[in-house]
A and B are shown apart, each in its own frame.
Chain A
Amino acid sequence: MDITLTIIGQSVAFFVFWWFCAKYVWPLFMDVMNERRQKIADGLEAAARAEEDLELAQAKSTDQLKEAKVEAAGIIDLANKRGSQIVEEAKDQAKEEAKRIVAGAQADIEQEVNRAKEALRAQVSAIAIAGAEKILEGSIDQAANEDMLNKLASEL
């Protein structure tokens, strides 16, 4: 085995290459890989956060949906109440109207009856006079009986 200066040459090369690697090669990869690790970690974190956000949003939307349903139910209730109220009011009004119409009609009827009574009264007195004239045939004093007949007519 022949040991020569080569052994020293190789030792020097060893240290020089080590120095070069430590200074110019290793940090390049170290940086790149650390950066990538950071990137991946960030990505995973972001994904986790997004998932959380999604859950939150879903919970929120469910809540809102519930609220909306409650609100809608309230509105429907109110509308129903208002509707029945309107119907009640309309009924009352209709009853009132009907009463008024009936009252009007009764007044009309009374008027008609009165008018008919007046007419009848007038005619009855005339008929009675005519009848009495026929019976008494002029013996009766027209003027003396006029008052008596008028009293009779007003009593009818």
Chain B
Amino acid sequence: MAELAEAAHAAAEHGAESQTVQEYISHHLSYLTYGRFPDGHWGLAHTIEEATEMGFMSIHVDTMGWSLFLGAAFLLFFRHIGKRATTGVPSGIQNFVESIFEFVEARVNEGFIYKNPYVAPLCLTVFVWIILMNTMDLVPVDWIPEIAMAVGGLWGLEHMSFKVVPTTDPNITMGMSISVFFLIIYYSIKSKGVGGFLSELAFHPFGKWMLPFNLIIEIPTLFAKPISLGLRLFGNLYAGELLFLLISGLLGVYQLPAHFVWAVFHLLVVPLQAFVFMMLTIVYLNAAHEPVEHH
């Protein structure tokens, strides 16, 4: 924690000699971006402006990298434990992993009443992956960016941004929620057929004579699912991160108690948001598997 305070202080003195709190925060909220420059060549953006100019044809190396790293680490770790797992009394780490496994399995069994062996693994992936990505929020905000800037300095990137919490990037959360959205559509069509899926949009809830109203109600409902799913996660984590940055940027050396209080509160948000994402995925997919209703 003391290092954190120093780091924050160092950050305040770093780069532009008199960095304002606003600059400090906006620096922390931007990404290490690799993309296509307006002149057509590809490379790392050196400033926030350059990154903004790249637009869609760019990739956030930091959040994407952390996301891939954490997902891969989780899966390889679980596989490692699963391979050594014994059917006898489970020991320490195996017990821990199994309790997560059982927790997810129980939620899926409660919420998902149809037969689909791929839903439970999906939920396990989503749950643990999001927990890990959210947990990055508890790493003091300057530790990893400072290291990244030190390393980046070797290639002339001493002012580079380096975002550590993937779930504070809407690309990451929306990437997942849109994937879930595709699954909703895929499984809806699979279980109801194209006609069934479309008739659910057109003829519910008021019957065929009210078709325009049905569409007005059902289409936003459909699209609200991925948007709310992704933005809820993003919003919660972004707000949490922002508050950490404010504490760090405004309070400087005296941030310790405030940081601690917010971190404790955030401990609640980290698994809760992962849980909400998983539960909503279960609910949406369960609804998608419902066969056509006959009236």
- Chain A residues with a Cβ under 8 A of chain B: 1-11, 13-15, 17-18, 20-22, 24-26, 28-29, 32-33, 35-36, 39
Residue of B whose beta carbon sits closest to that of A29:
B101
Q: Select one of A7, A21, A29, A32 contacting B174, CB under 8 A.
A: A7
Give the chain B neighbours of A36 by CB distance below 8 A. 87-88
How far apart are B249's CB and chain A's nearest CB, in angstroms? 22
A15, B129: Cβ atoms closer than 8 Å: no
B175, A9: Cβ atoms closer than 8 Å: yes
Question: Using an 8 Å CB-CB cutoff, how does the interface string of B42-59 with A read, 1 for contact, 0 for none?
Answer: 000000000110111111
Instruction: Determine if B140 is an interface residue (Cβ-Cβ < 8 Å).
Output: no
Size of chain B's interface in residues, with CB distance under 8 A?
47
How far apart are B119's CB and chain A's nearest CB, in angstroms? 9
A87→B79 CA distance, assembly (Å) = 92
A17, B57: Cβ atoms closer than 8 Å: no
Q: Select one of A9, A15, A28 contacting B79, CB under 8 A.
A: A28
Interface of A is mostly: helix
Give the chain B neighbours of A6 by CB distance below 8 A. 58-60, 63-64, 169, 171-172, 175
How far apart are A52's CB and chain B's nearest CB, in angstroms? 26
Residue of A whose beta carbon sits closest to that of B72:
A17
A56→B120 CA distance, assembly (Å) = 46
A5→B79 CA distance, assembly (Å) = 29
Give the chain B neighbours of A7 by CB distance below 8 A. 171-172, 174-175, 178
A1→B125 CA distance, assembly (Å) = 26
Give the chain A neighbours of B56 by CB distance below 8 A. 3-5
B82, A32: Cβ atoms closer than 8 Å: yes
Give the chain A neighbours of B52 by CB distance below 8 A. 2
Top 9 A-B pairs, shortest CB-CB distance: A10-B175, A28-B82, A6-B171, A22-B121, A26-B121, A14-B179, A7-B171, A35-B87, A32-B85
A10→B87 CA distance, assembly (Å) = 35
Q: Which of A9, A10, A29 has most chain B Cβ within 10 Å?
A: A10
Q: Select one of B60, B68, B101, B117 contacting A13, CB under 8 A.
A: B68
B86, A14: Cβ atoms closer than 8 Å: no
Q: Select one of A8, A33, A39 contacting B175, CB under 8 A.
A: A8
B82, A4: Cβ atoms closer than 8 Å: no
B174, A3: Cβ atoms closer than 8 Å: yes
Q: Select one of B57, B67, B83, B124 contacting A10, CB under 8 A.
A: B67
Instruction: Determine if B102 is an interface residue (Cβ-Cβ < 8 Å).
Output: yes
A18→B82 CA distance, assembly (Å) = 16
Give the chain B neighbours of A33 by CB distance below 8 A. 98, 101-102
How far apart are A22's CB and chain B's nearest CB, in angstroms? 4
Give the chain A neighbours of B85 by CB distance below 8 A. 28-29, 32
Instruction: Determine if B10 is an interface residue (Cβ-Cβ < 8 Å).
Output: no
A10, B121: Cβ atoms closer than 8 Å: no
Instruction: Determine if B118 is an interface residue (Cβ-Cβ < 8 Å).
Output: yes
How far apart are B123's CB and chain A's nearest CB, in angstroms? 10
Give the chain B neighbours of A18 by CB distance below 8 A. 118, 121-122, 125
Once A3-B174, A6-B175 are accepted as A-B contacts, the answer to whether A21 and B121 lie under 8 Å apart by CB is yes
Instruction: Determine if B150 is an interface residue (Cβ-Cβ < 8 Å).
Output: no
Q: Which of B133-178 contact A (CB under 8 A)?
A: 169-172, 174-176, 178
